[in-house]
Amino acid sequence: METAGTPNETTRQPYALADYDLVVVGAGPAGIMAAREAAQAGLRTLLVESSSLPRRKSCGGMLNEYAQRFLEGVAPLPHGMVLDPAWVNFRYYDWDRKIKKPCSLRFANVDRAMFDEWLLGLLPESVDVWDKSTFVSCADEECGVDVQLRRDGREAHVHARWVIGADGARSAVRRSHPSWPQTQSYTTVQEYVEIEPGSVEPYFDCIYSRHIDPAYGYGYIVPKGDVAIVGSVFFPKTKGVTAMHEKALATWGQRYPLGAARRREGGSAIQVKDANDIIAGQGRVLMAGEAAGIMSPRSREGISFAPYSGKLAGQAVVRASREKTEAVVLYDKSLGPIRKNIARRLFFFPIMNSNWGKYLGGCMPTPLISKVTEWL
């Protein structure tokens, strides 16, 4: 894996045009898996990331069983990356009525920064990696795509046969195609709070309260060694999220043994309203991960589906490079089961997300809640 260095600050000339078979935008789980798949098949691959690598992504760092099964076929998770407790189960928590409903849905509890760095290390040496480089636009050309990037203050044009946009919930690649369905994003704020190891029960607690604010989606708490991640999820376009998060943090501290806050970070999660928001791409531009609208409506996270969707996109490009067929058609077909899975969950999501749906959840027997949560 070759990471390009920083150019001389006194020169700001455009980069020379480079040629690749594939340019992948976004070095998260989806982008890395797409680049890995293509490079292993011998395609000249460039991976572009807007932040500095290794990056830090605001995330709860939990891998559901879907992601666990996929990653088992890639490489064993490093020992130090899995935190204490190693496993956490999902638990529905109606804060106002003090009702807790644990479910059998289980997550591997990982350090997200270490997870991303581990994935980066899985890339073949042949992959060129440009970090601190932003996607600007792309235009169809004969037999390929002209990709315009911004790197260290300079313009760079790259010619590629295909592009895979895997740049997350606020995808620049997706926004550059205004004819595609455009999505909004939930705002997330999460705090790393000191705890005594073992003092917080080994659950991914999803907390609902009707008294924080109408725009407050839900809170979540998950222990990770000597800290707990305490997060808040807000509906799109919500104002004053910091004050609401601090109110929630103070409220949760009444029942959880939370200590001093170490660090706060913000992020976003894509809002997918129906299956039409899930796009495979068009022409020679494919989309993967959250950028494609592939996420879990239940937890509003994309990490669980991202690696597999990235691999599927990479496989489609590899196959198209060898056959007289369109990569986007192959990829769209392979996304069928994922799209159907998410569409089923989205159908019930408005019910589960409503106040009366949350109230009903608190009344249902725990085994039934567990079964419904697994199915959704």
Q: What is the DSSP letter of 80?
A: G
Domain end point (choices 215, 241, 271): 271
pLDDT at 361: 66
| Residue 6 and residue 36 in one domain | yes
For residue 175, which of 285, 95, 33 has the smallest C-alpha distance?
285
Handedness of CA 314, 278, 304, 225 (dihedral sign): positive
pLDDT for residue 249: 94
Report pLDDT for 355.
Answer: 64
Alpha helices in 178-284 (DSSP H): 241-252
Structural domain for 190, as ranges? 76-111+184-271
Residue ending a domain, among 223, 256, 271, is 271
- 220 is written with which tokens? 């979540």
Question: Tokens 């890395």 map to which residue?
Answer: 32
Alpha carbon distance 133, 142 (integer Å): 25
- The C-alpha atoms of residue 196 and residue 218 are separated, in whole angstroms, by 24
Give me the torsion for CA of 221, 79, 38, 178, rounded to 10°: 10
Based on the fold, state whether residues 206 and 241 are members of the same structural domain: yes
Comparing CA positions, the residue from 202, 188, 189, 194 lying closest to residue 83 is 202
* Inside any domain, residue 143: yes
What pLDDT does 357 receive?
Answer: 65
Residue 357 inside a domain? The answer is no
* CA–CA dist 310, 312 (Å, integer): 5
The Cα–Cα gap between 261 and 187 comes to 20
From residue 1, alpha-carbon distances to 33, 128, 163 in Å are 14, 6, 19
Q: How far apart are CA 294 and CA 284, in angstroms?
A: 19
pLDDT digits (tens, 9 = 90+) for 146-163: 999 998 888 999 999 999
- Domain assignment present for 70: no
Q: pLDDT at position 274, please?
A: 79
pLDDT digits (tens, 9 = 90+) for 8-40: 443 455 555 679 999 999 999 999 999 999 999
In a domain, 103, yes or no: yes
The rounded distance, in Å, linking the Cα atoms of 100 and 95 is 8
Q: How many domains does the chain have?
A: 2
Q: Are residues 193 and 321 in the same domain?
A: no
Domain check: are 193 and 251 in the same one?
yes
Please tell me whether residues 176 and 315 are part of one structural domain.
yes
Are 35 and 88 contained in the same domain?
no
Pick the last residue of a domain from 250, 271, 292.
Answer: 271
Q: Are the C-beta atoms of 236 and 187 separated by less than 8 Å? A: yes
Residue 291, in any domain of the structure: yes
Q: HSE-up of 49 (CA within 13 Å, CB side)?
A: 24
d(CA 184, CA 287): 17
Chain centre to alpha carbon of residue 339? 16
Confirm whether 365 is domain-assigned. Answer: no
Q: Please state, as a whole number, how many other Cβ atoms lie within 10 Å of the Cβ of residue 17.
A: 10
**174 and 254: one domain?**
no
Residue 29: φ, ψ to 5°: -55, -40
Please give the pLDDT value at position 7: 42
- Three-state DSSP string of 278-307: CCCEECCEEECHHHHCCCECCCCECCCCHH
* SS3 label, residue 264: strand
pLDDT for residue 11: 43
CATH code for the domain of 130: 3.50.50.60
Structural domain includes residue 62: no
Residues 41 and 120 in one domain: yes
Our measurement of the distance from residue 119's CA atom to the centroid of its chain's CA atoms, rounded to an integer in Å, reads 14
Q: Are residues 88 and 219 in the same domain?
A: yes
How many residues are present in the chain?
Answer: 376
Contact indicator for 81, 111 with CB cutoff of 8 Å: yes
Whether residue 188 is found in the same domain as residue 80? yes
Indicate whether 314 and 193 sit together in one domain. no
The pLDDT value given to residue 300:
63
C-alpha to C-alpha distance for 21 and 336, rounded to whole angstroms: 26
85 lies in some domain: yes
DSSP SS3 for 197: coil
Does one domain contain both 340 and 203? no
The structure's pTM equals 0.86
Nearest-10 crossing angle of helices 336-353, 355-363: 90
Q: Which residues contact 112 (CB under 8 A, 6 or more apart)?
A: 56, 57, 59, 60, 61, 303
- What's 247's domain CATH number? 3.30.9.10
d(CA 14, CA 324): 35
Q: Which residue type sits at 329?
A: V
Low-confidence ranges of the chain (pLDDT < 50): 5-11
